[in-house]
Structure 1
Amino acid sequence: MSMDEIQNYIQSFSHDWLSNVLLITLFSLLAWVIWRIVYNRLEALTEHTPIVWDELIVKAFRAPVSVFIWLWPATVSLDIVLTHYVATDTSWLNKLDHILVIILFLWVILRIIQNVESYILTAGKHDETTVQATAKVARLFFISIGVLMAMQALGLSLSGLLTFGGVGGLVVGLAAKDLLSNFFGGMMIYFDRPFKVGDWIRSPDRAIEGTVERIGWRMTIIRTFDRRPLYVPNSVFSNIVVENPSRMLNRRIYETIGLRYDDNEKVNAIINDVRQMLENHNDIDAKQTLIVNFNAFGPSSLDFFIYTFTKTVNWVRYHEVKQDILLQVMAIIHKHEADIAYPTQTLKLDPATLPQSMATQTTLEP
């Protein structure tokens, strides 16, 4: 039933436009009350079902349907008032009704997408970055469809619009190439997934390091370790190397320890005990590379190195494990009555070049 038919039907009851408007208002009020009763009943039913999706869909209809119940009859009332006071064509109100239906339909779809996105993120069973990317693509798709439908309702030719859009898109692309590069950079991040929200990332090419807080269409927000926000355009990630330490399987311990030259006969026993300690340590991944070997003759020490990997990748826990290992290494060294070397220096002086008072002194304290 078109608006003109509804208007003629209402005006058949009375020729007083005010009475018609009041009648329409009362009809809207009655329809709204009925809708509230139906909605409350549907909400109560969906809350007792094991399926969550029906509840999300029902909640998405609440506000749009309420707005439609009041706005659509309001356009009928507006048509009656304009017809009474202004002798003009009101056919444009039909287009307004079509656009109103399109907007409300789009509103319902966007609310469903938002409800589903919030539910999935709250459940925490899926990757946050993937969920947000899918929701953004869905919103962009339906908004584009809604805009095209609204333009068609206004009488615009879609073929001409698409032709104009092809030429205009070239001009806009040249004028906004940085914006488009950021957009496609964001798409690359969403689909290639070099990192996600919550990951710790850094780049050896740029001074970028911190935790990813948000991945937008134009830029990515990174929170540095001193709690400063860092806003990085997405196009930057197309040209730099990004390291994602959050995806490490292990953390490495690589330390060089020096023994005194006086303890040269104990080096082999110390190294064997340190290797055995690491192999039996509960926090060391023995399946990874584990090396403990004498490495070099240092200027004042006999150096051996430890190369191993922890099971944990947590930064705080890693340092706790590393501390425990270093303390055990020191205990092993002391158990063999050896000690860790420190820098020393030996001076040899020619007595012939010394003053008479120092001729008998042959050594000096460093």
Structure 2
Amino acid sequence: MDLGEIAVPLIVFAALFVFGLGLRKLLLKALRQWTKEGRVGFEDKLIRRVRRTVETLWLLFCLFIALTASSVPQDITELINKIILAVSIALVTFTCAHLAVAFIRKEPGGGEPAEAVASLIGNVAKIAIFACGGLIILSNLGISITPLLAALGVGGLAVALALQDTLSNLFAGLQITFARQVRIGDYIKIEAGQEGYVEDINWRSTKIKTLANNMVIVPNAKLTQSIVTNYSLPDRELAVTLEVGVHYDSDLDRVERVTAEVAREVMKESAAASSFEPFMRYNQLGEYSVNFTVILRAKEFTEQYLIKHEFIKRLHKRYKEEGIIIPYPVRAINYAQEKSGG
């Protein structure tokens, strides 16, 4: 091999490499400008990964062109080209897998935790992408993938039958995650009676932390089949209702005014939704009292207990000061009649 046979491939490689450096600089400048304008939500680490992938692919392309321009024997060139293509496919596969997970972890609308989505489908997406990349590499190396696909089909059916419950929970978890009707941090109550804050939604189950500090683990499939009350939707504020009764001799207009004043004082508490205007409505002429309902609003489900606590204390104290009577059932005993009968 003379000097000319070596020089030509090296010159071609060097020329393409220099051209690639200039093109890389222009592309990175355009990409950074694009992300600054907010049209793409790429993070810096994603830009770095894509940059490294493009740089490596360009080097492999330069090597491929240099080999084509060289006088290396044909069989060796074909072998090296197959290796270059296999490495390129593997590199693109890894990059696509990382990008897919990054987009899955992306928080739509900002502020909504995306850990549940990543735990449910991140690994599934990686496995699917790696499997496709592996099959393409095998096909490129001249290995027939038809028997492999047939074996995977039969094996996949067997696995699906064996893992029927697991797969049903997996897809139920995907449904819960994407429907966004039950989210991490929500306070829910399911049909069976269990209630609490949603701690985690994973590939198999949903974890609910009760107010007693216990953990309830519900299979995703059962959760999707249950009637669920979500106290955090459409927003976390919750109406708090209290039933009260006053004596029939009470001045109902005065009762309404005093009760409204107490309710407004309670709504100044940190647990209350301060923008809400409390109100009351008479609803029943009961056996012992005139009954009415007072409606307040708490910031979230658990805050209702403090609201009720404060309202009952303050209303009882204010009614005593105002002389308003809260009646209770009284049983009259005719002592003389019982004595004569005895």
* Unmatched segments (≥5 aa) in structure 2: 64-75, 268-274
Report what 2:281 is aligned to.
Answer: 291
Q: Distance in 1 between matches of 2:175 and 2:299?
A: 27
Report what 1:217 is aligned to.
Answer: 203
Residue 146 (str. 1) matches residue 139 (str. 2): no
Residue 182 (str. 1) matches residue 182 (str. 2): no
* Unmatched segments (≥5 aa) in structure 1: 1-7, 14-22, 75-88, 355-366
Q: Given that residues 209 and 215 in structure 2 are in contact (C-alpha distance below 8 angstroms), is that contact kept between their aligned partners in structure 1?
A: yes
How far has the Cα of 1:182 moved from its partner? Answer: 1.5
How far has the Cα of 1:243 moved from its partner? Answer: 2.0
How far has the Cα of 1:234 moved from its partner? Answer: 1.9
Q: Given that residues 239 and 297 in structure 2 are in contact (C-alpha distance below 8 angstroms), is that contact kept between their aligned partners in structure 1?
A: no
Q: 2:47 is matched by which residue type in structure 1?
A: V
Q: 2:249 is matched by which residue type in structure 1?
A: E
How far has the Cα of 1:351 moved from its partner? Answer: 10
Once the two structures are superposed, the pairs formed by residues 1-366 of structure 1 within 5 Å of their partners are 46-47=31-32, 49-51=36-38, 53=40, 56=43, 58-64=47-53, 96-117=83-104, 120-121=106-107, 124=110, 128=114, 132=118, 139=126, 142-205=129-192, 207=194, 209-213=196-200, 215-225=201-211, 230-247=216-233, 251-259=238-246, 263-266=247-250, 268-269=252-253, 271-273=255-257, 283-284=276-277, 291-297=281-287, 302-315=288-301, 318-319=304-305, 321-323=307-309, 325-326=311-312, 329-330=315-316, 333-334=319-320, 336-341=322-327, 349=335
After superposition, the Cα gap between the structure-2 partners of 1:207 and 1:174, relative to the gap in structure 1 and judged at 3 Å, is same
Question: Which string of whole-angstrom CA distances, capped at 9 and with x for unpartnered residues, describes residues 69-92 of structure 1?
Answer: 999999xxxxxxxxxxxxxx9987
Q: Distance in 2 between matches of 1:93 and 1:312?
A: 70
Q: Distance in 2 between matches of 1:268 and 1:184?
A: 57
After superposition, the Cα gap between the structure-2 partners of 1:326 and 1:172, relative to the gap in structure 1 and judged at 3 Å, is same
Q: Distance in 2 between matches of 1:71 and 1:202?
A: 57
Which one has a bigger Cα radius of gyration?
A: 1
Q: Distance in 1 between matches of 2:140 and 2:155?
A: 22
After superposition, the Cα gap between the structure-2 partners of 1:334 and 1:228, relative to the gap in structure 1 and judged at 3 Å, is closer
How far has the Cα of 1:106 moved from its partner? Answer: 1.4
Report what 2:69 is aligned to.
Answer: none
How far has the Cα of 1:346 moved from its partner? Answer: 5.9
TM-score w.r.t. the length of structure 1 is 0.60
Q: Given that residues 241 and 296 in structure 2 are in contact (C-alpha distance below 8 angstroms), is that contact kept between their aligned partners in structure 1?
A: no
After superposition, the Cα gap between the structure-2 partners of 1:268 and 1:52, relative to the gap in structure 1 and judged at 3 Å, is closer
Aligned residue pairs, count: 310
TM-score w.r.t. the length of structure 2 is 0.63
